[in-house]
């Protein structure tokens, strides 16, 4: 039995004390333990930022790549070796800003990958600028008058793109987040979780207390994740519009369609990493260009 502690990797941690990332890391290790996966069969692909450092603190394979590029890289890993459990990790700047295009297409493609986004509504590693999920009016040194843009709504976007697993978790709700992560990791398709995460250093609005007072489990309100209209309504609930408003957590939407991996004919021949070139097939391909004199 591999415990959550087994998934820890010793070494210095570069996150701020009290950071929401710790709750996410802890839930992830718990989820991996509950699934009884073996570390060598798991691969985390992360982007750049404080969230992108997460794989350094987990005992498994990882590729800590480029800002915004974790998803296409993770898809490449998964296509080459479908036997790996692949997890893409990044922050809100990473997945919703720099990698926003890739995210939309990942929903479309529906690869069998779990995607965990640490969403703290601010750029941390660059020292506190407004991010795509900062609320309108959010003041930073880069936006001294307050950002004029409304925040990006990842859940509504995922639902609109027919995501097959569109969920929201909260770093402060370790049990609920672990449950969602287990489901996302078992999901045959793109298991997406937007994870609300307080930033103790740069986001003084969306604090741990602010979230605690507002979050609730969508599952306690008879939510049906097949109901796209209701899922969109839930995705639009946010305290910005309504000071009394609350923040739903849980699985919002799950479109029923096959994963990309299941549809790709070449994967039915086995894992591409195991395939060996067949000289006869190469010769056949060459022969197609030979022009003989007579029929």
Partner 1 sequence: MAGIDFGLIVTGQAGQGLQVIAQALAGVFVRSGYHVFVSQDVMSRIRGGHNFTRVRIATKPVGADADRAQMLVALDAKLASLHLSELADDGLVLIDPDDGSRPETGHEIVAVPLRRLAREHGREVMTNSVALGAALALLQHDPEALRRPIQELFAGKGQAVADENLACARAGFDFVCAEGRTCRERIPRIAEDAGRLFLTGAQALGLGAIAAGVRLVAGYPMSPATPIFEFCARNAAEAGIAVELVEDEIAAINMALGAAFAGARAMTCTAGGGFCLMNEGLSLAGMTETPVVIMVGMRPGPATGLATRTAQADLLFCLSAGHGEFPRAVLAPADPEQAFHATIRAFRIAEEFQTPVIVLFDQFMADATRTIGNLQLPIANLQSAERQSLPEGAYRRYEASESGVSPFLRPGTKGQLVYVDSDEHNEEGHITESAEVRVRMVEKRARKAGGIAVMLEPPEVWPGPGRKTMVVGFGSTRGAVLEAVERLRGKGLDVGVLHICDIWPFPIDSVRAALEDSRRVITVENNWSGQVARLLRQEAGITAAGSVRRFDGRQFAVAEVAAGIERLAEGKTG
Does 76 contact partner 1 by CB under 8 A? yes
Does 292 contact partner 1 by CB under 8 A? yes
Q: Pinpoint the alpha helices (H) of 20-161.
A: 21-34, 70-80, 92, 100-109, 154-160
Residues 84-103 that bind partner 1 (CB under 8 A): 84, 101-102
* Residues 195, 120 contacting (CB under 8 angstroms): no
To partner 1, the closest distance from the beta carbon of 79 in angstroms equals 5
Instruction: Choose the binding region for partner 1 from 17-25, 167-175, 180-188, 285-293 (rule: CB under 8 A).
Output: 285-293
- Closest Cα to residue 108, out of 160, 171, 169? 160
Does 281 contact partner 1 by CB under 8 A? yes
Pick between residue 41 and residue 209 the one whose CB is nearest to partner 1. 41
Pick between residue 241 and residue 285 the one whose CB is nearest to partner 1. 285
To partner 1, the closest distance from the beta carbon of 276 in angstroms equals 7
Helix/strand/coil for 90: strand
To partner 1, the closest distance from the beta carbon of 16 in angstroms equals 16
Residues 96-155 that bind partner 1 (CB under 8 A): 101-102, 104-105
Pick between residue 49 and residue 250 the one whose CB is nearest to partner 1. 49
Helix/strand/coil for 113: coil
* Residues 238, 144 contacting (CB under 8 angstroms): no
Pick between residue 220 and residue 263 the one whose CB is nearest to partner 1. 263
Does 263 contact partner 1 by CB under 8 A? no
Secondary structure in 3-state letters for 129-174? EECCCCCCCCCCCCCCCCCCCCCCCHHHHHHHCCCCCEEEEECCCH
* Residues 48, 78 contacting (CB under 8 angstroms): no
Q: Could you give the string, one character per residue 27-66, with x where binding to partner 1 holds by CB under 8 A and - elsewhere? A: ------------xxx-x-x--x----x-xx--xxxxxxxx
Q: Give Cβ neighbours of residue 192 (< 8 Å, ≥ 6 apart).
A: 106, 107, 115, 117, 154, 158, 163, 165, 166, 167, 184
* Residues 90, 70 contacting (CB under 8 angstroms): yes
Binding site for partner 1 (CB under 8 A): 11, 14, 39-41, 43, 45, 48, 53, 55-56, 59-66, 68-69, 71-81, 83-84, 101-102, 104-105, 264-267, 269, 272-273, 275-279, 281-286, 289-295
């Amino acid at each position: 039995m591999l415990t959550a502690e087994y998934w820890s990797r010793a070494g210095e941690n570069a996150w701020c004390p009290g950071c929401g990332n710790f709750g996410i890391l802890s839930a992830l290790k718990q989820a991996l333990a509950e699934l009884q996966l073996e570390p060598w069969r798991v691969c985390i692909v992360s982007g750049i930022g404080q969230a992108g450092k997460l794989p350094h603190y987990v005992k498994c394979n990882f590729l800590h790549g480029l800002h915004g590029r974790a998803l296409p890289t993770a898809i490449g890993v998964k296509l080459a070796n479908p036997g790996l459990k692949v997890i893409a990790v990044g922050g809100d700047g990473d997945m919703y800003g720099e990698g926003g295009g890739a995210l939309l297409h990942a929903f479309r493609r529906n690869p069998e990958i779990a995607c965990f986004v640490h969403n703290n509504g601010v750029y941390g590693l660059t020292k506190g600028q407004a991010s795509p999920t900062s609320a309108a009016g959010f003041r930073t040194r880069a936006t001294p008058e307050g950002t004029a843009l409304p925040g990006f709504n990842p859940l509504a976007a995922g639902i609109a793109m027919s995501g097959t697993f569109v969920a929201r978790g909260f770093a402060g709700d370790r049990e609920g987040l672990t449950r969602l992560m287990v489901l996302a990791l078992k999901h045959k398709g793109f298991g997406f979780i937007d994870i609300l995460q307080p930033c103790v250093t740069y986001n003084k609005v969306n604090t741990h207390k602010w979230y605690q007072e507002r979050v609730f489990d969508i599952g306690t309100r008879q939510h049906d994740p097949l109901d796209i209209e209701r899922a969109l309504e839930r995705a639009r609930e946010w305290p910005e519009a309504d000071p009394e408003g609350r923040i739903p957590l849980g699985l919002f939407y799950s479109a029923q369609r096959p994963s990309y991996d299941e549809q790709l004919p070449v994967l039915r021949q086995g894992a591409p990493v195991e395939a060996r070139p067949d000289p006869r097939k190469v010769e056949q391909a060459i022969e197609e260009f030979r022009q003989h004199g007579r029929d």
